[in-house]
Amino acid sequence: MVVLRPGEEVAGYVIVRALGGGRQGTVYLARHPRLPRGVALKVIHDGFSGDPKTRASFDREVELVSRLDHPNVVAVYDRNGLEDTHLWLSMRYVAGGDLAALLGGAPGGLDPDRAALLIAGTAQALDYAHGQGVLHRDVKPLNILLEHHNGAERPVLTDFGIARALDDTVTASGIVATFAYAAPERFTSANVGHRSDVYSLGCTLFQLLTGYIPYPAKDPAAAIYAHVNEPIPSPRDRCPNLPPYLDAVLTTALAKNPRRPIPHLCSTGHRCRSCAHYDCLRTRPTTADGLEGIPTSPRHRPRSNKLDG
């Protein structure tokens, strides 16, 4: 693995600094060769670039992500050509960090108003992607970036690198998602679909509210067992002052039956947004699925509506 240094170029993009990386590649902040703006440049490591399977997977990733045009999804600008030595992908640069870093400064969890709004915006991104036939498959705080504009913040979902078209089949033998946020069907013979992203979003909401993942485990085997077998935890066991409505939302999102009804992400997002005014929720009933009885009229929506995209 070769890490590019500031000043080096890839297809005319000038490297400014590394933003982060993993086993297959590194993401850099880079200067656009022709436009006065910075971009996030994902460069695949040399050891993978010559592998036909990796190239095919990368091509599929680019094709899928390039379909997506939504304010809560990181936009793709450009990609490598056949003549390029490196496999690379140029994307919109989001400067606000990610939710994992945000949680690092808030070990007890975020304010529930803020957490609800962040999940609502991410739900909008997923609902849009699902409508385009794309699954994310690795929803977690690290893959949700924060964009700040005019005093408001907006979640922006990134790294659809393990996304597949909805008619693809991926089972436990092909799992690549992070164990802490992975739906039970990833560890069984059940096919992965929309509901798996909903489950991962529920795990993320739980962590935003409490500072803890829903199923802490010492090793992957214990994490798998917990996701498949253990009861759904209540965030109020860790944070008693949270509104009861959130238990209903998480019970729906974290249901373990892979044939469970798919919660509609737009509805979930609207109800999460309404949770930012949870004082009124104490006097309103919730149904078994946790998605009814929650006010969604404009007067109950938060004043900062820029998350609507």
pLDDT in tens, 97-112: 999 999 999 999 999 9
Using one digit for the tens of pLDDT, what is the confidence trace for 25-41? 899 999 999 999 999 99
Sequential DSSP letters for the chain: --PPPTT-EETTEEEEEEEEE-SSEEEEEEE-SSSSSEEEEEEE-HHHHT-HHHHHHHHHHHHHHHT---TTBPPEEEE--TT-SS-EEEEE--TT-BHHHHHHT-TT---HHHHHHHHHHHHHHHHHHHHTTB--S--SGGGEEEEEETTEEEEEE---TT--BTT----GGG--S-GGG--GGGGSSSPP-HHHHHHHHHHHHHHHHHSS-SS--SSHHHHHHHHHHSPPPPGGGT-TTS-THHHHHHHHHT---TTSPPPPHHHHHHHHHHGGGGGGGGGS---TTS-SS---SGGGS-S--GGG-
pLDDT surpassing 60 at residue 285: no
Position 167 scores a pLDDT of 38
Sign of the Cα pseudo-torsion (264, 295, 306, 113, in order): negative
Closest CA to 159 of 81, 68, 254, 96: 68
| Choice between 82 and 95, residue whose per-residue pLDDT is larger | 95
Q: Look at domain 99-308 and name its CATH class.
A: mainly alpha
Q: What CA–CA distance (Å, rounded) separates 163 from 65?
A: 8
**9-92 belongs to which CATH class?**
alpha beta
Between 18 and 53, the higher pLDDT residue: 18
Q: What is the model's pLDDT at position 154?
A: 96
Start-end of CATH 1.10.510.10 domains in the chain:
99-308
pLDDT averaged over every residue in the chain: 79
Find, among 8, 129, 23, the residue nearest to 74 by Cα: 129
Per-residue pLDDT reduced to its tens digit, 41-83:
999 888 777 777 777 878 887 888 888 999 999 999 999 887 8
Rounded to an integer, what distance in angstroms lies between the CA atom of residue 121 and that of residue 94? 15
Mean pLDDT for the stretch of residues 92-98: 94
pLDDT band at 161 (very low <50, low <70, confident <90, very high): low
- Residue intervals of the chain classified under CATH 3.30.200.20 are 9-92
Supply the pLDDT for residue 278. Answer: 42
Q: What is the pLDDT of residues 262-284, one digit of tens each?
A: 555 555 555 566 555 443 333 33
Mean pLDDT within 193-206: 92
- Specify whether 59 is catalytic: no
pLDDT value for 211: 97
Name the active-site residue from 78, 98, 127, 138: 138
Query: What is the per-residue pLDDT for 41?
Result: 95
- pLDDT for 287 beyond 90: no
pLDDT of residue 192: 76
CA–CA dist 25, 23 (Å, integer): 6
Q: Is the dihedral of CA 245, 247, 250, 256 positive or negative?
A: negative
